[in-house]
Homo-oligomer: A and B are copies of this chain.
Amino acid sequence: MTRRPTPPLIDISACCPRGLESPLDHEAAQQLASVLKAVADPARLQLLGLIRAAGEACTCDLTGPVGLSQPTVSHHLKVLTAAGLVHREQRGQWAWFRADEERLRDLGHVFR
């Protein structure tokens, strides 16, 4: 496989420094929307809540509470990770996730 050009992680406070207080250009809106889309899903909100409440959580502890199949949960965690909202750490055969508090704060700040 050819190397992907590195996932361009969006910097919220750079792309939308004044949040929704002033108009966004096309690109800024698209970037901000891409992060919001990651969060605008019931399963992913539940996952974020579970991860945050626990400090960190392993996939095996997340599949049960959300009531979805393992591949689906894996998919949602990938989306959250790609958006930079959670970070993944491999420990042996387990994948551990923790929330990026700063990024969540930045996201909340957009609506200020």
Main secondary structure of the interface of A (DSSP, over half): helix
Query: Copies of this chain, how many?
Result: 2
Is there contact, CB below 8 Å, between A49 and B33? no
Known: A108-B108, A110-B108. A22 touches B40 (CB 8 A): no
Q: What 1/0 flags go to A1-32 for Cβ under 8 Å of B?
A: 00000000000000000001111101001101
Given contacts A23-B50, A23-B53, A105-B111, 18 further A-B contacts (CB under 8 A): A20-B45, A20-B99, A21-B52, A22-B49, A22-B52, A23-B46, A23-B49, A24-B45, A26-B42, A29-B45, A29-B49, A32-B42, A33-B40, A33-B45, A36-B36, A36-B40, A108-B110, A108-B111
